[in-house]
Structure 1
Amino acid sequence: MRLFEGILIAVHTLWLFSFLFRFNAKVKISINVIALFLFVIHLGFEGYRWQMGLTYILFIFLTLLTLKSFIQRNAEKAALECANQKKKVKKLIYITLILIYSFSSYGLVTVMPVFQLPKPTGPFEVGMNSRHLIDESRHSSEQKDRELMIQIWYPAEVEDNAKDIQYESFPYEEWSGTMEFIFSVPRYFFEYLKYAQTNSIKDIAVSNQEKKYPVLLFSHGFGSTRMQSFSQMEELASHGYVVVSVDHTNDAAYTKFPDGREMMNQTDAYSYSFNIEDERDVKARSEDISYVLDQLTSINDKDPQGLFTGKIDIDRIGIFGHSYGGSTAAQALLDDSRISAGINIDGPLHEPVASSGFEQPFMFILDEDYLYLSEEEIQYTNITQEEFQKYHDKISELADFHYKEGIKGDTYMLTFIAGDHYTFTDFPFLSPLLSWNVDIDQFHQVMNRYTLAFFDHYVKDEEIDPLLRKEKKEDQFYYFKTNIKND
C-alpha cells in the first residue's frame, strides 16, 4: 500500500464515521476538502489503480451526501428528530458500509501491493537494454522467421555528479500478459504493476571499471516471461555480469515486439509435457540460446546501438534457468560447448541429457518437494495421479543420479525446505498470499549467494568460495550438498 493510498482510505473511513455519529455539517465539509486534496495528490504522484475503485466511488458518493447535508442541515435535523425510530437502522447501515469499505479497500491494496524490488547488493549500478532478434534460418507455423525478444542487464556507468537517476518502471505488460495466460484473468487487473519500480536504468552506458564482462544466459519457465526473475537479473548484473534473458516465443506466455505485435501462448497453461523423453520443445529452446550467443558475438564486434561493442566477454559464458528453463540450461550445455557452466532452478532433466549428461560443472537448486503437484493441481493437467507419480519418481531419481555421477564436472545441490516452485521467481512479490509461509527476501538472498559463488568460480575463474565447499543446513530453511570431482 502506497502512502497517500493509505491516508486517503483512512480519511474516507473517518468520513463514513462522520455520518454514523452525525458530525456537524462543517466538520463533514472539512473532511471533504481534505479528501479532495489527498485525492488530487494521490492521482498526481501515485496514479490511479483499480484496487482503489471503491475509494474513488465512495469519494463521489460522500461528496454528494456532504453537500446535501450542508445545504439541508436544518431540514435534515428536524427530520431526524421526527424519525428517531430509524436511528438504529441507519447506524447499522453505516456500520456495515464502513466495514465493507474498510475491508475491501485495505484488503485489495494490501493483497495486491505496488511493490519495490530489493536493491542489488553488488558494486555496480544496473543498466537494461531490449533487443529484437530475427533468425531467418528457422521457421514455424506461427512465425515466418523465428523472432525473439531478449532483455539485457549489465554493469552501468553512472557519473558521480548524477543527481536524478531515473529507474525503469516494472515490466507490467509482460507480467500482466503472463498472469492472463496462467490464471485467465484480464490483463487490466494487473495494470497497476506499472507503478512498481525496478533498480535498472534504461540504455545507460556500460561501466568502464572493467574492460569486458562475462555473460550469463537465462531461460524462463514454460508459459512464463523473460521478465519473471527481474530482481535476480539485477543482482547478478550488479556483480559484474552481462545477464541476457530470452523470451522463447510461443513457449513464453506473452511476447510483445517493438512494432506493437503481441504473441500469446496458444496452449493451455497446464499442458506441460510430463514426459522425460519429450525433447522437441527443450531442443528448440536450446537452439534459441545458441542463436542468441551468435548474436551477442556480433553485437560485441559492432553493436548497432553503440552500447556493447568490445564489452562482452564471449569466452566466459554461463547459463541458468527456472523450471523448463532449467531443462533448457542443461540441454544447452550439451549442445553448445561455448557455455562453461550451468544452473538448473527447479526444473526436470529431459532426453538426451537424462541419458548422456555433459562435461561442464552444474548446480541443482531445488525445492524439497521437487516439482511436486497436489491431487487438486493434477486435475488440471492431461495426466493421471499414477502417471504423475511415475514421472515425479523418475525426475527425482535423475537429479540425484546426475548430481552423483551422471555429470562429469563438479556438481552441487542446494535444496530449500521452505517455499515452492514459484518462490524462485519474482511472482511472490505480487502478493503476500504467495509468500505467507516463507521470508521471500531471505530465500532470494540465499539463492543469489550460491548462484554468484558458482558463476564467480566457474565463469569468472575466481578462487572457489568456501561457501561451495561447506555442506550445511541452516535453521530448517535449506540444505546444501557438494560433489567436487576435480579438486
Structure 2
Amino acid sequence: MMGVDWVQALLVAGFVACWLGWRDTRRRAVLAGLAVAIIGVALWGIMIDRWQVGGGALFGVLALVAIAASRWRADRATKAGRAARPWRLPWITGLLWLCLALALLFPVWIFPVRALPRPDGDHAVGVRTFELDDPSRKGVSGVPADQPRRLLVRIWYPAGDVSGMRPRPYMTRAEAGMSGRAIGDSIGFPPLFSHLWHVPTNAYEDAPLAPGARALPVLFYSHGYTSFLAQNSVLLEQLASHGYMVVSIQHSGDAGATLFPNGDVVPFEPLPPQKPSDGKPDPVLVKAVAAADPGARLDAMLKLRADAVKSNDRIGMRSAATWLADRLFVHDRLQKGAVPAAVAPLVAAGRYDRVGELGMSFGGATSGAVCMIDRRCAAGINLDGTDLGYDAFDRDMPVPFLMFHSDPSHIFKLLGAPAPAEPRGSNEFSYERFANAGSLPDMHRVMLADSKHVGITDFPLFIRWPLKGMMLGTAPAGDLIGTQNDMVLAFFDHYLLGADNHFPKAQIARWRGRLVPMSSAYVARWWRTKSPAEQAEITRRIDGVRRP
C-alpha cells in the first residue's frame, strides 16, 4: 500500500471509531476535522493518479452533511427547551458508516501498489529505451503517408554495479497517462492502471552493462494487441538477471498510445466499426472452437480465415504482416549495429545469429511466424497467442517451440459449449504438420490451469480478488507469475544454452496440477482417416488462405 492509502484508511477508521464510541463535547468538531482531512487525502490521491482513494471525497462530504444535520437537530431541541436525549451507542448509523467505509476503501484493496517480485538470477538488471525508424515503410498503422515506421524499443540486460541508483518505475507518469490509460480504455474505464507509475521494478535505467559481458544470448519479445512493451516485465527481468539480453518492441498503432523519448506520441489506430450483433456469438466461431470433430473445427477456421483474407482484415492480415516486419527490422538493425550511439555498446554485447523469440498473445503468434521463416531463430515461445496469420498452419516448426496456453475452459463456458475431456488449445492445427501432430520431440504444448488470457502478464500483481478471478483467472498470482518465469527460463536455458535441466518434465512436476501437458496427437489420428483426395483438398484450402 502507498502512504496515501494508509493515511486514508487510518482517517476513515478514526472517523468510524469516533462516531461509534466518543461522547465528548468536542465530538462533532473532531468528526468534522476528520471528514475534511478525508476529503483532502482523496483529492491528494486523485492528483497523484491514485484514484482508488478518491471515493473518500464522497465519504467526507456525506460525513459533513451528517454532522451538520446532527448539530441542527441539537440546536432545535435546545431552542424548544427539550431535554437532551440520553446518549446511546449509535449502532445503526455506526454500522452504516462502517459499511460505507469498507465500500470506499475496497478499490484500495483490489488494486494494490507493490514492487515487482525480485528476480532470482545472479545479475542486477539494467534497462534502456530508444527509438528505431524504418524509412522503407511509410504510412503504416494509421500514421500519415509520408511518415516512416517508428518503433519504441526497450532492452533488459544483465547489469554491473547499480549502487546508488534507483529502479525504474513500472511506467513513468507520462507513460501511465498514455499506455496505462489505453488499457483502461479497452474496458471503458481509462484511469484503471493510471497509478502504475507508483510501482517500482527491479530494473535500473541506463545501468552499466555487467563487466565482461559479450555474446550475450538475445531474446526478442512482443506484447499483446493494444498493450505495451513492458506488460511482462517480471518475466523479462527474470531472464535478464540470468544473463539474457531481452529486446522488447512496442508495435506502434496496434499498441496502446506509444510515447517516444522525444515526447512524440503515436496513438492506437482505432479498429474499424464492428457489424451489429444480436448478442449471440458467431456460430462459425463457436464451431471453430467447440465442435467435437477436428474436421468440423478446421472447416470453420478456414471459413473465418477466408473471410479475413477477403476483407483484408486489420488484425489477421495487416497487423500480422506489420508485426512480423517490425521484428525482422529490429533484429536486422541490432545485428548491423545501426542503433543510436547511446545504446551501441550495449547492443554490441549481444549475439544475433542464434536468438530466442518470445511473445504474449498477438506477440506470441508473431514469435511463431518469425521462427517459421528466419533462420536466426533457434527456439521460440508463444504465450497464449493464436496463429492468426496461419504462418504455421499444417507446418512443422523447424526449431524447438513452446506453446503456453491459458486455461480454455472458460471460453467453452462463455460460448455455452461443453468442455472437451482432453484440453485443447487454439493452435491445435499449427506448428506441426497434421500427419506429424503430437510426434515432434521439441514441440511442447502446456496449459496453465485456472488462468485466463490476460493472466499471462504482470497484471495478476496489480489486481486482487474478486476482480482478479473474473479478469485473470482463479489461480494465485504467485502461480500465474511463477509458472511463466519457470517454464520460459528453463526452455531457453535448455535450447539456447544447452542446460541439462530436464525440460519440460522437471518444471511440470514442480507445478503439478497447475501446468498441464497438452498433445495434438488426435489431429494426426483424424488426418489418417482422410483419403488422399480429401487430404489434398484440405491442403489446397489451407494454401488458398495462408499469408504469402
TM-score (norm 2): 0.72
Q: Is the 8 A contact 2:406 2:449 kept in 1?
A: yes
| 1:236 alignment partner, one of 226, 235, 239 | 239
Aligned to 1:417: 449
Aligned to 1:335: 373
Aligned to 2:2: 2
Q: Is the 8 A contact 1:174 1:227 kept in 2?
A: no
Shift of the 185–394 alpha-carbon distance from structure 1 to 2, 3 Å rule, reads closer
Aligned to 1:147: 150
Residue 294 in 1 paired to residue 332 in 2?
Answer: yes
Aligned to 1:227: 230
| 2:404 alignment partner, one of 354, 365, 373 | 365
Residue 466 in 1 paired to residue 498 in 2?
Answer: no
Aligned to 1:122: 121
Q: In structure 1, the residue corresponding to 2:487 is in which secondary structure?
A: helix
Aligned to 1:352: 391
Aligned to 1:440: 477
Q: How does 1:88-487 map to 2 (within 5 A)?
A: 92-93=92-93, 95-100=95-100, 102-140=101-139, 142-143=142-143, 144-159=147-162, 162=163, 164-171=164-171, 172-186=176-190, 188-258=191-261, 259-267=263-271, 275-276=304-305, 278-299=316-337, 303-305=341-343, 307-349=345-387, 350-369=389-408, 372=411, 374-375=413-414, 395-398=427-430, 405=437, 410-432=442-464, 433-435=467-469, 437-459=474-496, 461-470=497-506, 472=508, 474-480=511-517
Q: Distance in 2 between matches of 1:179 and 1:48?
A: 15
Shift of the 66–322 alpha-carbon distance from structure 1 to 2, 3 Å rule, reads same
Q: Distance in 2 between matches of 1:18 and 1:471?
A: 54
Pairs aligned (count): 463
Shift of the 464–200 alpha-carbon distance from structure 1 to 2, 3 Å rule, reads same
Shift of the 81–169 alpha-carbon distance from structure 1 to 2, 3 Å rule, reads farther
Residues 115-143 of structure 1, C-alpha deviation per residue, up to 9 Å, x if partnerless? 32211111111111111111011123523
Q: Distance in 2 between matches of 1:173 and 1:465?
A: 42
Q: How does 1:43-82 map to 2 (within 5 A)?
A: 49-56=50-57, 58=59, 78=78, 82=82
Q: Is the 8 A contact 2:35 2:63 kept in 1?
A: no
Partner AA of 2:5 in structure 1: E
Shift of the 22–247 alpha-carbon distance from structure 1 to 2, 3 Å rule, reads same
Q: Distance in 1 between matches of 2:95 and 2:76?
A: 20
Structure 1, 266-275 or 435-444: larger mean CA deviation: 266-275
Q: Distance in 1 between matches of 2:88 and 2:31?
A: 24
Q: Distance in 2 between matches of 1:125 and 1:301?
A: 24
Shift of the 396–48 alpha-carbon distance from structure 1 to 2, 3 Å rule, reads closer
Residues 294-346 of structure 1, C-alpha deviation per residue, up to 9 Å, x if partnerless? 12123388844455153112233101111222211111012221111101111
Q: In structure 2, the residue corresponding to 1:244 is in which secondary structure?
A: strand
Q: Distance in 2 between matches of 1:261 and 1:49?
A: 24
Shift of the 80–120 alpha-carbon distance from structure 1 to 2, 3 Å rule, reads farther
Q: Is the 8 A contact 1:370 1:396 kept in 2?
A: no
Q: In structure 1, the residue corresponding to 2:54 is in which secondary structure?
A: helix
Residues 172-210 of structure 1, C-alpha deviation per residue, up to 9 Å, x if partnerless? 245423323421223x34322221111111111111153
Shift of the 76–166 alpha-carbon distance from structure 1 to 2, 3 Å rule, reads farther
Quote the offset at 1:394 in angstroms: 7.0
Quote the offset at 1:419 in angstroms: 1.1
Q: In structure 1, the residue corresponding to 2:156 is in which secondary structure?
A: strand
Shift of the 268–121 alpha-carbon distance from structure 1 to 2, 3 Å rule, reads farther
Structure 2 unaligned blocks of 5 or more? 276-281, 286-300, 307-315, 419-423, 521-548
Partner AA of 2:377 in structure 1: I
Q: In structure 2, the residue corresponding to 1:135 is in which secondary structure?
A: strand
Partner AA of 2:24 in structure 1: N
Structure 1, 221-230 or 235-244: larger mean CA deviation: 221-230
Q: Is the 8 A contact 1:403 1:411 kept in 2?
A: no
Aligned to 2:13: 13
Q: Distance in 1 between matches of 2:337 and 2:70?
A: 69
Q: Distance in 1 between matches of 2:60 and 2:319?
A: 52
Structure 1 unaligned blocks of 5 or more? 379-384, 387-391
Shift of the 219–89 alpha-carbon distance from structure 1 to 2, 3 Å rule, reads same
Aligned to 2:533: none
Quote the offset at 1:31 in angstroms: 7.5
Quote the offset at 1:468 in angstroms: 2.8
Residues 43-97 of structure 1, C-alpha deviation per residue, up to 9 Å, x if partnerless? 69x9562221233455577689989999x99969947983757989987455424
Q: Distance in 1 between matches of 2:165 and 2:338?
A: 26
TM-score (norm 1): 0.80
Q: Is the 8 A contact 2:8 2:53 kept in 1?
A: no
Q: Distance in 2 between matches of 1:399 and 1:22?
A: 70
Q: Is the 8 A contact 1:216 1:320 kept in 2?
A: yes
Shift of the 479–88 alpha-carbon distance from structure 1 to 2, 3 Å rule, reads same
Residues 8-67 of structure 1, C-alpha deviation per residue, up to 9 Å, x if partnerless? 3233233244245453144666687789999789969x9562221233455577689989
Shift of the 444–270 alpha-carbon distance from structure 1 to 2, 3 Å rule, reads farther
Q: Distance in 1 between matches of 2:404 and 2:80?
A: 68
